Amino acid sequence: MKNRLANIFSFVLLVMMVSCNAGPAMTDMEEWDLVWISDSSGWGVADVYAAMVEEDTGVKVNVHDYWMGGLSAGQLYSVLKGEETSRFKLTQLLDIIPEAEIIVLYVNPAASEASDDPSDWNCTGGELNYVNKCQNFETYINHLEGIYQIFFEMRAGQPTIVRAYDAYNPLIAEFHDQGVYEDCKACWADYNAAIHQAAKMAHVPVATVSEAWNGPNWDNDPVELGYTKDGIHPNELGAQVIAQAIRELEYKPVKP
């Protein structure tokens, strides 16, 4: 009997701790903090998405826009673990993420290459795109999974809307001109599969921006569609397309 009472007391105490940790229900809040974390593919999208969230929910959204040129999963993971970085702005995330009701993530695999399995490909623009060996994205997956885990640890059980999006490519015409379309398409398919795999492990919904920009068969040229301001980065229309893809995932908090 004494052991049973002790077990009941322990269970009640655990429920009380979880309840205190969770804070107010999201539906009772008047404001949400949105942390947008991306490389330049998310340039200008955070404010567009925030306006959509406000329209859909009636909740005021405070935007913390952390798009940074070339931001990679390896860089972000390192900073979230408390390691030093030359990109001081990223360290601000350590204080902001614990207060964020919404987190949107897209970071590239540039710093997520296994040292014992080097790749030999370039399908991200420049004078020459080529594929000799696609990247093994296992390290990228591990970095993304680690990032999601740290997000949830920093949020400490509070309800959080975590969303990701996958990688569009604006270089379709360039790939065709250089004769590397099929090879680059295959590498990018692996790239996006890695994004989805890591997010699935963390129960994070992923917006298929690749499909929104490039079509289901990856054969639409987003430059011709008018989605870019410079042949690479989203203009106002392109930002609307990205934001809408994330919006369609709605606003259910993620349970890790």
pLDDT digits (tens, 9 = 90+) for 7-23: 444 433 333 433 333 34
Query: Could you give the C-alpha distances from 49 to 46, 110, 209, in angstroms and in order?
Result: 5, 26, 13
- Biggest alpha carbon distance in the chain? 78
Residue 67 falls inside a structural domain? yes
The verdict on residue 119 lying in a domain is yes
**Count of domains in the chain?**
1
Domain assignment of residue 253, yes or no = no
Q: Is residue 8 part of a domain?
A: no
| 161 in Cβ contact with 103 (< 8 Å) | yes
Share of the chain above pLDDT 70, in %: 91
Per the prediction, the chain carries an average pLDDT of: 90
Contact (Cβ atoms closer than 8 angstroms) between residue 191 and residue 109: yes
Q: How far apart are CA 137 and CA 159, in angstroms?
A: 30
pLDDT at 182 over 50: yes
The per-residue pLDDT for 4 is 47
Whether 109 maps to a domain, the answer reads yes
Taking residue 144's Cβ as centre, other Cβ atoms within 10 Å add up to: 27
Looking at residue 23, its amino acid is G
Domain that holds residue 187: 31-247
Distance, in Å, from the CA atom of 129 to the CA atom of 127, rounded to the nearest integer, reads: 7
Residues 6+ apart with CB under 8 A from 135: 109, 113, 119, 121, 187, 190, 191
pLDDT value, residue 167: 97
**Residue 26 corresponds to which tokens in the numbers above?**
């999201």
Q: Which amino acid is at 51?
A: A
Whether the CB-CB separation of 35 and 67 falls below 8 Å is answered with no
CB atoms under 10 Å from CB of 174, counted, come to: 19
pLDDT band for 145, please (50, 70, 90 cuts).
very high
Tell me which DSSP letter residue 175 carries.
Answer: H
> pLDDT tens across 107-135, in order?
999 999 888 888 999 998 878 999 999 99
CA proximity to 180, closest of 216, 131, 119: 131
Q: Residue 153 is part of a domain; what is its CATH number?
A: 3.40.50.1110
Q: What sections of 23-161 are H helices per DSSP?
A: 46-57, 73-80, 88-91, 93-96, 138-155
The pLDDT tens digits for 32-80 are 999 999 999 999 999 999 999 999 999 999 999 999 999 999 999 999 9
Tell which wins on pLDDT, 228 or 28. 228
Whether 4 is covered by a domain: the verdict is no
Can you tell me the mean pLDDT for 98-109?
Answer: 98
For residue 22, tell me if it sits in a domain. no
Average pLDDT, integer, range 74-103: 94
What gap in Å lies between CA 135 and CA 190, rounded to an integer? 8
Is residue 207 assigned to a domain? yes
Which is more confident, 222 or 126?
A: 222
